């Protein structure tokens, strides 16, 4: 039976966390203490130092030789149950979708254990439950977040190949090389380009690299040009600075600057046919897809730019004939917008018949679309154009009508009878593992988790204590890590234009998956393993924690339902305390 003293201990553990979050929210929304740039600096400090050191502190102080294997088995079994069900649904159902499978797996299985779970469960069931949460954190950082990266990169690779190499052409790919500076196949951070080389054996050898001719590179020098009035009429050019702000401002360079900028980037001047009619105005920036432009690169390689869309999976579909190994050397390709392009990169020496094709793509979250004002991660206190507001409202209604659907939209756009050929499994596996490895080695939480568990194995095995000077250097930041993490979450909430960003029906569905489906499957998995008493209660309550922040970061980076995960994090945090208290009271009866 839950007593008043038990309830007080829970509130003592949780209220300070919400105080930090509310203070951060009010500092941006009500008191205007922090600007968005300052919030970005705080969030970066939390991501690079506070949270990794907090994770290291908990993991390194946990005895790995006393881990409760049955509890960990129940947690793993819950995730495997849901993963298997989603995999079967994705492959067997006509409504099955890889995109929704990834999102639903995040919602149902990855709670905010580090920041919310440890203090909450310690307040409910004592210090031992906090140690169980640390063990869950270890598995999350090492196994489940890595699995999420694998799924996201698999989705990006499959979308890339199915759109860039349609029909049976993808089956001819024998190798895919990725330049070292490319850290994701999604192209959401910067446009990418591919070079497909057709060898004498008819096989394709593909190279992926960062695009050297993206629009973001063309506009980048505007960030440091001295501002002056523009002589462009009915047009607004967004510099790199304004790409993070949806409010249009006066252009910092005029039409004559375009030649000097493009000449400076290319190392030499050339005649430009980029007319003032091709500069996107405010009305054009509101549309999801830019109109055709007569701007062409001064090279012979056909390029296929993509100017934004609904999701990161909508890559441009090139002409299938360009990838056919049987195509003649003299055949000409077509540009994606209908303009004629020349076949380039051919071996005209007669020694070997190898064709070279290049394609450029990017997602709606890339700098190409950011330049034209599609970033909404700003507080409502910022100035918005009325057209932007109307467009946002229309987008909400469209989201309610279309987005809340489990349709496989990629399959709907594929012509009937066309196959979805993929490269050999070994090629795909090697490609995805390489991209996941590049992500992991750039993530400070990877190092904090691995170093923390390594130190815990050494220290508890041979009873070695950490030197005091190192322990205190870590604790001075890790002690503030929990409060800073909640403060950063409050800043994130304040910077969002709406708490419920995905529509009421989708938010209700997401909350049901988070707070009902996850705990229900965890209860079933725990009973299968044989958990009883407080272990069973801890397992169910930790499954009802609010949505984890790391899955939202992945969703934002890969442009996969970020509005749903954002709502799950923000709105879920607001209703998590009463929901977990209800579970705590019901399980204690």
Cα gap 387→345, rounded to integer Å: 44
Helix (H) or strand (E) holding 176, with range, is strand 173-178
How many residues comprise the chain? 589
Cα gap 551→579, rounded to integer Å: 21
Identify the burial level of 586 via C-beta atoms within 10 angstroms of its C-beta, where 0-12 means exposed, 13-18 middle and 19 or more buried: exposed
pTM assigned to the model: 0.70
The pairs formed by 423-432 with CB atoms below 8 angstroms and a separation of 24 or more are 423/161, 423/170, 423/171, 423/173, 423/174, 423/176, 424/173, 424/174, 427/173, 427/174, 427/175, 427/176, 428/154, 428/157, 428/158, 430/176, 431/157, 431/176, 431/178, 431/185, 432/150, 432/153, 432/154, 432/157
Helix (H) or strand (E) holding 358, with range, is strand 355-361
Nearby residues of 231 by Cβ (< 8 Å), 6 or more positions away: 254, 255
Q: Tell me how far apart the terminal alpha carbons of the chain are, to the nearest angstrom.
A: 5
Cα gap 230→250, rounded to integer Å: 7
**3-class DSSP assignment, residue 205:** strand
| pLDDT in the model for residue 404 | 56
How do the pLDDT tens digits run along the chain, 589 residues long? 678 888 888 999 899 999 999 999 999 999 999 999 999 999 999 999 999 999 999 999 989 999 999 999 999 999 999 999 999 999 998 888 999 999 999 999 999 999 999 999 999 999 999 999 999 999 999 999 999 999 999 999 988 888 778 778 888 898 999 998 888 888 666 787 888 888 888 888 898 888 775 544 444 444 444 444 444 443 333 333 334 444 444 444 444 444 444 444 444 444 444 444 444 444 444 444 444 444 444 444 444 443 333 444 444 444 444 444 444 433 333 333 333 333 333 443 444 444 444 444 444 333 333 333 334 444 444 444 444 444 445 445 444 444 455 655 444 444 333 446 888 899 999 999 999 999 999 999 999 999 999 999 999 999 999 999 999 999 998 988 999 999 999 999 999 888 898 989 999 999 999 999 999 999 999 999 999 999 999 999 999 999 999 999 999 989 899 999 999 999 999 999 999 999 999 998 7
């Amino acid at each position: 039976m839950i007593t008043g003293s038990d309830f007080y201990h829970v509130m003592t553990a949780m209220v300070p966390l919400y105080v930090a979050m509310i203070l951060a929210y009010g500092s941006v929304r009500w008191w205007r203490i922090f600007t968005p740039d300052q919030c970005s600096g705080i969030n970066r400090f939390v991501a690079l130092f506070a949270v990794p050191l907090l994770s290291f502190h908990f993991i390194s102080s946990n005895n790995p030789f006393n881990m409760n294997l049955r509890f960990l088995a129940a947690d793993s079994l819950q995730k495997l149950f849901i993963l298997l069900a989603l995999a079967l649904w994705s492959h067997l159902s006509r409504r099955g979708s890889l995109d929704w499978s990834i999102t639903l797996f995040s919602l149902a299985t990855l709670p905010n254990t580090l920041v919310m779970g440890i203090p909450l469960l310690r307040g409910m069931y004592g210090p031992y439950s906090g140690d169980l949460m640390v063990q869950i954190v270890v598995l999350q950082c090492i196994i489940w977040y890595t699995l999420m990266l694998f799924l996201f990169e698999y989705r990006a690779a499959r979308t890339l190949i199915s759109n860039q190499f349609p029909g049976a052409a993808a089956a001819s790919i024998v190798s895919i090389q990725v330049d070292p500076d490319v850290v994701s196949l999604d192209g959401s951070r910067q446009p990418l380009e591919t070079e497909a080389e057709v060898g004498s054996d008819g096989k394709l050898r593909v190279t992926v690299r960062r695009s050297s001719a993206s629009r973001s590179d063309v506009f980048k020098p505007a960030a440091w040009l001295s501002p002056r009035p523009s002589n462009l009429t009915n047009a607004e050019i967004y510099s790199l600075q304004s790409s993070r702000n949806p409010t249009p401002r006066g252009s910092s360079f005029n039409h004559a600057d375009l030649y000097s900028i493009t000449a400076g980037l290319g190392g030499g001047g050339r005649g430009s046919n980029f007319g003032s009619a091709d500069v996107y105005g405010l009305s054009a920036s509101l549309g999801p897809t830019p109109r055709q432009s007569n701007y062409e690169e001064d090279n012979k390689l056909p390029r296929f730019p993509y100017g934004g869309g609904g999701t990161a999976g909508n890559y441009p579909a090139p002409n299938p004939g360009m990838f056919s190994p049987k195509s003649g050397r003299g055949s000409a390709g077509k540009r994606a917008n209908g303009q004629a392009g020349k076949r380039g990169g051919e071996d005209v020496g007669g020694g070997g018949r190898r064709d070279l094709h290049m394609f450029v793509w990017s997602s709606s979250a890339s700098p190409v679309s950011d330049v034209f004002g599609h970033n909404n991660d700003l507080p409502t206190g910022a100035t918005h154009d009325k057209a932007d507001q109307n467009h946002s409202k229309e987008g909400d209604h469209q989201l309610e009508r279309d987005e809340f659907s489990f349709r496989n939209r990629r399959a709907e756009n594929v012509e009937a009878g066309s196959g979805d050929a993929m490269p050999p499994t070994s090629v795909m596996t090697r490609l995805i593992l390489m991209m996941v490895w590049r992500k992991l080695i750039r993530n400070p939480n990877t190092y904090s988790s691995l170093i923390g568990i390594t130190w815990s194995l050494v220290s508890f095995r041979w009873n070695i204590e950490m030197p005091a000077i190192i322990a205190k250097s870590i604790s001075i930041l890790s002690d503030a890590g929990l409060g800073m993490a909640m403060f950063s979450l409050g800043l994130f909430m304040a910077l969002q234009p709406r708490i419920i960003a995905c529509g009421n029906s989708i938010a209700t569905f997401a909350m049901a998956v988070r707070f009902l489906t996850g705990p229900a499957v965890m209860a079933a998995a725990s009973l299968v393993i044989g958990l009883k008493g407080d272990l069973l209660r801890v397992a169910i309550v930790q499954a009802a924690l609010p949505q984890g922040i790391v899955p939202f970061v992945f969703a934002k980076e890969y442009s996969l339902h970020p509005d749903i995960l954002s709502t799950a994090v923000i709105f879920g945090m607001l209703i998590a305390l009463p929901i977990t208290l209800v579970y705590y009271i019901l399980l204690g009866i």
